[in-house]
Amino acid sequence: MQFIEGKNRGQSILFPQSLDQIISSDNEVRTIDLFAESIALEDFHFAVKASKEGRPAYHPKDLLKLFVHGYLNHIRSSRQLEKECKRNIEAMWLMKQLAPDHNTISNFRRDNEKAIKKVFRYTVSIAKQFELIGGKLIAGDSTKLRAQNSKKNNFNEGKIERHIAYIDAKLEGYNKALATADGDNKKIIAGEIEKHKARKDDYEGMQRTLDETGEPQISASDPESRQLMARNNISEVAHSVQAVVDAKHNIPIDYKATNENDTRALSGMLRRTKTILGTNKFTALYDKGYHTGCEIKAAVTGASISWSPYRISHR
């Protein structure tokens, strides 16, 4: 039986193809490259780190290209984007074979959060110019992105009180045992007492933070995350990303990462949508998770809307 055979890996190639010849003329990375090169960084306030000493920095436009490429290909991880620069031929073409490490990619995202949002708004304005956004019917919904913080490292006032009460009970027991202990046992018990006192100080510090900020929860390793209802009464420590999509070509026109459930998101989404579209003549569709009296009232007063149980529409 015959099969199609590949080429010998060790065979020399007389006329090697360049990267530019390998990438087809209609490949999306060419559009990304053209878009990033066309924008003026100063208009978006990107952090430009230029130094004559040490190793030169990567140009923000190159890192923006990589970020957009990852977005279009559902790649969020900085470590994964680092790998793509070394093995993905499209990313190699786009980055001109630059391969920034994951810390550089992560820091770029962190330092330019507002600038990246402005670039997103700019893409929406371009879509409007080409009449790709209808502005007549929009739909809003959210998705929950699990945080790095686990449930056991997420605390509210009740949970903190329970931990402190448990520690107090343990300390009481250790103090009684310390009174009758001697020698090595006394040293071991004293060490346990110090350890539990340190844990109690940590929980009391969390309680002070909640009192000062007025927040209902606090997360230890991912401070902005909160325990949210994800699905079917199942909660996760997560971020909630609220998004609005235009119905004409299913193009996202707005997004906002929050740490609140859908019950507090409606009015803000409608106000931003009204500003982005530049009109108040559109119909907005939301599910019942957004149906709360206070948010509808805020939307009516702040965004000039009328509503029905089946839809929310601007007058």
* In a shared domain, residues 191 and 267: no
SS3 label, residue 230: strand
C-alpha dihedral sign at 11, 17, 19, 24: negative
* In a shared domain, residues 202 and 268: no
Which segments in the chain show pLDDT lower than 70? 1, 15-16, 50-54, 302-315
In this prediction, residue 5 carries a pLDDT of 79
| Residues in CB range of 68: below 8 A, 6 or more apart | 32, 35, 36
In this prediction, residue 315 carries a pLDDT of 45
- Asked, for residue 203, whether it belongs to a domain, the answer is yes
Q: Give me 159's structure tokens.
A: 């949970």
In this prediction, residue 131 carries a pLDDT of 93
* In a shared domain, residues 25 and 116: yes
* In a shared domain, residues 284 and 138: yes
* In a shared domain, residues 51 and 106: yes
Alpha helices in the chain (DSSP H): 19-22, 28-38, 41-44, 60-72, 78-87, 89-94, 102-111, 113-129, 157-180, 184-213, 266-277, 293-303
pTM value is 0.76
- Asked, for residue 68, whether it belongs to a domain, the answer is yes
- Asked, for residue 230, whether it belongs to a domain, the answer is no
* In a shared domain, residues 100 and 140: no
- CA-based nearest residue to 35, from 72, 83, 76: 72
Domain count, the chain: 3
Q: Which residue, chain included where needed, has tokens 């709360």?
A: 292
* In a shared domain, residues 251 and 141: yes
- Asked, for residue 7, whether it belongs to a domain, the answer is no
- Asked, for residue 40, whether it belongs to a domain, the answer is yes
Which of 185, 219, 253 is the endpoint of a domain? 219
* In a shared domain, residues 285 and 140: yes
In this prediction, residue 302 carries a pLDDT of 63
In this prediction, residue 170 carries a pLDDT of 93
Q: Residue 178's domain spans which residues?
A: 151-219
- Asked, for residue 287, whether it belongs to a domain, the answer is yes
Residue 250 DSSP symbol: T
